[in-house]
Amino acid sequence: MDSSPPIILASASPRRAELLAQIGVPFQVVAADIDETPREGEAAIDYVQRMAKEKVAAVAALFSDRIVLAADTSVIVDGEIWGKPLSRQHAKVMLAGLSDRNHQVMTAVAVHHRDRLEFQLSVTDVAFAALTTAEIGTYVDSGDADDKAGAYGIQGAAGCFVKHLSGSYSGVMGLPLYETAVLLRKTGMTLEPGNE
């Protein structure tokens, strides 16, 4: 009898793994290896949905008998996609650009099960406080901005940069739990939050 977890998380993100465990879902991680370059002129909403679908398809091709879940998160500023910083200096530039203004965080979630693909989109409006150069420098030097869309993680020290949020807090972290639960229930799964 196969004792493998029923779900494969097609992501190497430790934040997504933490969030999925939070709702009691047993899973294993198999990161998707795809080209994440936006297409020329591609709208942000189309990009995040395409990425989630391509990630889930890449891993589902290897595990046709399992439920595969993937997600993609982008920070959107004036319609422009802000992905992960290329360097710490780039992270400082990005945070300066987010300072004292609003942006959106879009996270698309896709689930593949028995040749069916379902997806949901979470869009959250985030208002940042005015940040000083020193605050930005201290935060970036801590390493917390590394490898995060928009150069910040709301669940860390950057949480104090957020004046207001309208939408999904877990979506800003990288996996909107409400939308994820909706998709997993469609596969017939029973979720038991707290049973990690």
C-alpha count within 13 angstroms, C-beta hemisphere, residue 2? 6
Identify the CATH number of the domain defined by range 7-186: 3.90.950.10
Task: Please tell me the predicted confidence (pLDDT) of residue 166.
Answer: 98
Residue 1 banded pLDDT, cuts 50, 70, 90: very low
Supply 167's token pair: 């939408």
Which residues are annotated as catalytic? 72
- What whole-number distance in Å separates Cα of residue 15 and Cα of residue 112? 21
Q: Say which amino acid occupies 42.
A: E
Summarize pLDDT for 107-158 with one digit per residue, the tens: 999 999 998 999 999 999 999 999 999 999 999 999 999 989 999 999 999 9
Distances 61 to 31, 115, 177 between C-alpha atoms, Å = 13, 10, 25
Give the residue-averaged pLDDT of 176-187: 95
- What whole-number distance in Å separates Cα of residue 12 and Cα of residue 195? 22
Summarize pLDDT for 2-20 with one digit per residue, the tens: 567 889 999 999 999 999 9
Which of 123, 125, 110 lies closest to 182, judged by CA? 110
Question: Over 80: is that where the pLDDT of 193 sits?
Answer: no
